[in-house]
Chains A and B, each alone.
Chain A
Amino acid sequence: MRRTPKLSSFFLLAFVVQLASSVGAAEAIHEERSRYRDITVTQVGERRCLLFNVHRGDRNQTCVMVNDRDRLVFDYTRMSFAGLLLNPEPSRILVIGLGGGSIPLTFSDLFPSAQIDVVEIDEAVVRVAKEFFFFEETDNMRVFVDDGRPFIKRAGIRGQRYDYIVLDAFSGDYIPEHMLTREFLEEVKSIMSPDSVLVANTFSTSRLYDHESVTYQRAFGEFFNFKLPTSGNRIIITQLEPLPPRGELVTRAVDLADRMLKYDVPMNDYPRRLSTRVDWDMSRRELTDQYSPGNLLREN
């Protein structure tokens, strides 16, 4: 079917206008250069976004609607809650990588009595999240300015356990290679109990996808590979025990769907997206502390 020229030019015009308004009106309300990155906060209408290294063309890290703060704007942020299908009532939650803080804030809203620990390497990000993204520390929600790997290693040695772990440290410009390795995943396993779930926001493109998949598979066995057609992210969801059957996920999704509605998380849509199919090159080398050139692999 062909559109009439008039209609298509209307679409073109609408597109240009939208593009112009989104680019032109994106006003930087805060800019700073931290030890790790350039941080920019922009606002367009009601939508406020956190960007890292904007001059290098990085994507938004987090966006919030200032008039609807519960709503999660990005697919990958929403997808981080798919782990609830495996463990619907977490009581000790660990989030590695704060960003704008929307993941921990949502957890705190969902489970007010849960203990939430957030680890963020860049104290400037913590400051910006508090100042511009409504993030607050509470008695139950603490932020540790630390590197994720030593934090988890130490927690493991102290015998601490978390039942919901989100790894979200990989969305920046530079990949922390020491948090992609088999040894790191073994340390993560040491802070998990049988009912714990691990949710890792990882890379969906480049050779790194294969290497990461192989590494997770060696560490955990089968895992859920969670991708959406609308998002460039790939979320790995796994636990120590064998994965639950799909029927169980569907039942849990139905139970959770209403509660997740206000965050704009389409829970009922998720179970069928959780795949265990191997769609990576299994001959790729596992990433270890000895071999982890993540940044080089991403470029190739």
Chain B
Amino acid sequence: MSKSNNKTIPRALIAAMAFASGACIMTIEMLGARILSPYFGGSLSVWGSIITIFMLALAMGYLFGGRLSTRNPNSVTFALFYICAAVFSLPVIFLSDQIMEPIFMVMEDPRYGSLFAAIFLFFIPTTILGMISPYAVRLMVESEEHSGHMAGLLYFVSTLGSAVGTLGTSFYFVLWWEVDQILWGTIAALVLCGCIILVTHYAMNPQSQKVQGRHAKNA
């Protein structure tokens, strides 16, 4: 395995970012039911649709993120996950009615209606957010014997973040703010994470822009 010459950002920062991504995933998921309910109701099947789609999207994200981490793992790509997830969350704010209305008109059964709506609204941003964890593991791991330890640590912080996002959203955020305000907060948090990673990376590697083209690729 070949390595890039760049210094990796500190582990504590990676862990903090993983915590934030876990919180953002669950904040969006908890709001999902509220976003779908005007069209598909508040039945158990609507929750089922949302959880199913989030699980599937995360599964795909883990797969892609893990695959991507084998090719020249670097902090810039890591930061891009956050920025892309933020960008692809924007349709939840701006296009949710345009996405749900035609589905509502075509599908009488709220089960499949909510399932398809959840796919179009949440699949892409959640997949991208799912890529963060395996990629973060790769960035934190320096030797094989460390890998289990780092993976465990990462699951720990990101799941802890998920718990905080779930509780915060369902207990407090919906009482304090509107759905779109909470979504904007989540998007801002993701962009902020991306920026923090980039700033740290370039602060640690002032020469990195010059060497980027010479990165060795994985065999």
Contacts and interface: CB of A to CB of B under 8 A. Distances in A.
B44 A35 contact: yes
* Majority SS at the chain B contact face: helix
Contact of B174 (A146, A153, A293): A293
Contacts, number: 62
B107 to A, nearest CB: 10
Interface stretch (B35-43, B118-126, B146-154): B35-43
Interface residues of A, number: 25
Interface stretch (B59-67, B175-183, B186-194, B198-206): B175-183
A183 B37 contact: no
Contacts of B112: none
A149 B41 contact: yes
Contact of B38 (A121, A184, A291): A184
Given A147-B41, A149-B38, A157 B179 contact: no
Contacts of B180: 290
A146 B39 CA distance: 12
A150 interface: yes
Contacts of A170: none
Interface string A24-40: 00000000000110000
A218 B174 CA distance: 21
Nearest to A297: B175
Contact of B42 (A157, A178, A288): A178
B94 to A, nearest CB: 14
Contacts of A289: 34, 37-38, 179
Interface in A285-300: 288-293, 296-297
A181 B39 CA distance: 13
Given A290-B179, A291-B179, A148 B174 contact: no
Interface string A165-198: 0000000000011100101100000000000000
Contacts of A296: 171, 174-175
Contact of A178 (B37, B44, B105, B181): B37
Contacts of B34: 177-178, 289, 292
B104 interface: yes
A219 to B, nearest CB: 15
A148 B178 contact: no
A146 B110 contact: yes
Given A289-B179, A290-B180, A291-B178, A150 B171 contact: no
Contacts of B44: 35-36
B178 A150 contact: no
A95 to B, nearest CB: 17
Nearest to A289: B38
A140 B1 CA distance: 75
A1 to B, nearest CB: 49
Interface of A: 35-36, 121, 146-150, 153-154, 157, 176-178, 181, 183-184, 288-293, 296-297
5 contacts: A149-B37, A150-B40, A178-B34, A289-B34, A293-B175
Given A289-B34, A290-B181, A297-B175, 13 more contacts: A121-B43, A147-B42, A149-B37, A157-B105, A178-B34, A184-B38, A288-B178, A290-B179, A291-B174, A291-B178, A292-B174, A293-B174, A296-B174
